[in-house]
Copies of this chain bind each other. A is one copy, B any other.
Amino acid sequence: MRTITIKPAAITHNLNQVKKLAPTSKVLAMVKANAYGHGVAAVLPALQQADGVGVATLIEALEARKLGWDKTIGLIEGAFTVNEWQQAIEHDISCVIHHAPQLTWALAHIPPINSATRVVWLKYNTGMNRLGFNEQTLIPAAKLLHHAGYQLILTTHFANADNHSHPLNAIQIQRFNDMLSTLRETINCDVKGSLCNSAGIVNFSKHHHDWVRPGIMLYGSAPVIDQSACELNLQPAMEFSAQIIALQTVNAGDTIGYGSRWLAQQDTKTALVSIGYGDGYPRIIGDDVYVSVIDTINHKSYPCAVIGRVAMDMIVIDVSNVPEGIALNSKVILWGDTPHVDEVAAHAGTISYELLCRLSLRPQRLQG
């Protein structure tokens, strides 16, 4: 079976790692994009010790509410329309406000005094240049919101926090800290701050402020370029697996799969595995990637190279090192404990985030 197995205990463990790194900050656990592909329903129960969850769309926010999440929900791109703003009020969603139309909606439709929507995450563009107010427009926006009765969390987003030594980090931190001081001095001493995503949590421990916003590290991947998930004591929360459905021996000189890319240098025992890019295993994977075959009898793990091009529904692997007679029907781990999804992503020229998110509907979802 094509299977995605989610491990809630790993997510709880990873959340505890966040809390150890940022012990005085509240935690907005990111569950956008269906909890980075893990499935929000499977993930929320593992996040009970978080102070809130972060989502990218109103639909995702409403789904989290429907699933019983009764604490903070932060809508990190805010409402897309005035109607969405009104729905946010109705369901007690805290919104980012990052541009003038959202400010207008907030001033025209003020939530009830005890509504969670009274807390707004005011987005400051410190150098990512995607969204947010600039230095000139942010202060007037903050004043208007404060006078209308909103509580403010100043927030921004790093462009290069994964790389500790990138020069933009110091600039973004300085701009953010300066603006937070200004707002506290000129508007209200109780303005809160939120600067750090996972990479910031790891790399910039002096700048955690009131709320941290971990995402990828909750799911067990490394958020920084110079420390592995293992070194950070993070556990992978997903195992992506399939099974061997046929065995063959290809002869020296034979080629395998589309484009005849892989050429057998010698007679080679191969196995067909029921997984492909139609499930979300990336087509770009080359012959330098391995999967783990778990034999059906001893449950021993064998690393086996992917050979030939990944197709929509199947891949071929080299099972020369797997003992005769125990390979058929064996479980094949595409990513999980080993190989780690970070390793597979590096070979696929991307980051684990994308592999986790771009899984299709086809694999069966389980909890482990």
Mark A residues whose CB is within 8 Å of B. 2, 32-34, 36-37, 56-57, 60, 76-77, 80-81, 98-99, 101, 125, 127-131, 159-160, 166, 168, 243, 245-248, 250, 254-260, 270, 272, 274, 276-280, 282-284, 308, 311-314, 316, 328-329, 349-351, 353-354, 357-362
Contacts and interface: CB of A to CB of B under 8 A. Distances in A.
B168 A260 contact: yes
Query: For the complex formed by this chain, how many copies does it contain in all?
Result: 2
A362 B56 CA distance: 10
A101 to B, nearest CB: 7
Contact of A99 (B33, B247, B349, B360): B247
Contacts of A81: 329
A128 B257 contact: yes
Q: What are the 6 tightest A-B residue pairs by CB atom distance, in nearest-first order?
A: A33-B278, A56-B313, A278-B357, A129-B256, A277-B354, A99-B246
B360 A32 contact: no
A275 to B, nearest CB: 10
25 contacts: A32-B313, A33-B278, A37-B278, A77-B274, A80-B243, A99-B247, A101-B328, A127-B254, A128-B257, A129-B250, A129-B256, A129-B308, A130-B248, A130-B314, A130-B316, A131-B246, A131-B248, A159-B258, A160-B258, A168-B255, A277-B354, A277-B358, A312-B357, A357-B360, A361-B361
